[in-house]
Structure 1
Amino acid sequence: MAKNQGIIRLRGSIDGVTYTEGVNGKLSRSRSSLNKAKMDSNPKFHNLRMAQEELSSYSKYGALLRSGIRSELAMIKPYMGTRRLNKILNALKNEDLIHRLGQRTVASGLTTPKGLGMLHYFDFYGKKNVNQLVTKEFVVDFAVGEALIRNFNPLYDLIAPRHATHVGFKAIYMGLDFDRLMVSSERSDQVYLPLEDVAADLSLKTTDLPSITENTFFLVQVVFYKELNGFRELEAVDEAALTIIALKA
């Protein structure tokens, strides 16, 4: 792959070369002579075929995980969301110490302490995470579906953007069944607070528990608002967070 730094802007394919433009600049890619028939019939490509099987598996896992927070992802556009998540899931499936090459899975990788740590504090929006915005730690109770901070003061326990007047907190408790490609998500009501010097317990409790109890993820969303004359607008979306703060295999 090559980068095109010239002033001519090309898009599409010409003579087997495809021109695209994205966050990494203008790119050109030539078509490979390798096709599926060659790869399937040649034993030299055995490891590549196995790697592609695993790529398909962890990509589907990432898609299933994102599907459980579809409304939150529609609220704020993630920064390189799929690419960042798949990079971690690729490394995570390498922690699968049970299956052979081509059959390793994210779910098995999550059964190891190192695997769990890879997704801990992953943020789907990609610019901040909850741990960078909130100076106190959430205590998560999976049994009741609650994330709690005692004596939370928005003015002192939160790093808020300059022009925001309010902050919104919400919890998402999610379970994944990869074998059946099913996800179950439960949410708390949004806690909407003015950025004032008032301390109180911050409790984010989901309305119910997810029906799927394996591969469970607890996320917290933090978004900022500017309120004027009773109307609220999202403020400083680059400072928003949608973070996995706790998970269990």
Structure 2
Amino acid sequence: MPAPLASPDVAAVLAQLSELADPRIRAVNENHGDDHSVHLGKLRELAKELKAQPELARELWRTGGSDARLLALLVGRPKQYDRDELDAMLRDAGRPKVQDWLVNYLVKKTRYAEELRTAWLADPDPVVASAGWALTVERVAKNPDGLDLPGLLDVIEADLKGAPERLQWAMNHCLAQIGIEHPGLRDRAIAIGERLEVLKDYPTPPNCTSPYAPVWITEVVRRRQV
């Protein structure tokens, strides 16, 4: 059950979210495991109006609704959360979009990012582990010093094929990122993708890049060389 509302401000914001809700958007999102009903662009517009409000962010998160939680992640401040609170939020995030925004808009910007990355990678819960892999993608792209990239490829090669969906997506992203960012490992990353064939047949809209790692790697490298 959602926690009781702690202030009239929360009730007012929830009323705004209710007005912005569109059942057609929710129906589309449910196909991807999500349940938010407000267009993400409108959520960002509302967040811009509200500006940073740490306490409101906490109260919105406690309501449990995905729209409210996504808004909370936009109006919160990374420095307001400690390590244990971020860990608890990740484990309670539930929906993929909420988890994705939590990792990208909060956790990555805190001083706990590396500590949580290593802890989550080793977590037996595949959903939690997927967040660790998402943070690893960030390290691979921006700060790879100290990472055992060949070792990461070993793990991906062994576990990617049989991983649950959310974990598989995160590991596959890491595979592609290693191939894109590190030319010395590119051939191996492509070979792993070709052998495992994960997401090879994933339907990809026109003008979008396939999530199949060999195609993803090749296309991004090609664009950077143009």
Asked if TM exceeds 0.5, the reply is no
Higher strand proportion (structure 1 or 2):
1
Structure with greater contact order relative to length (CA < 8 Å, sep ≥ 6):
1
Quick check: which has more Rg, 1 or 2? 1
TM-score normalised by structure 2 residue count? 0.28
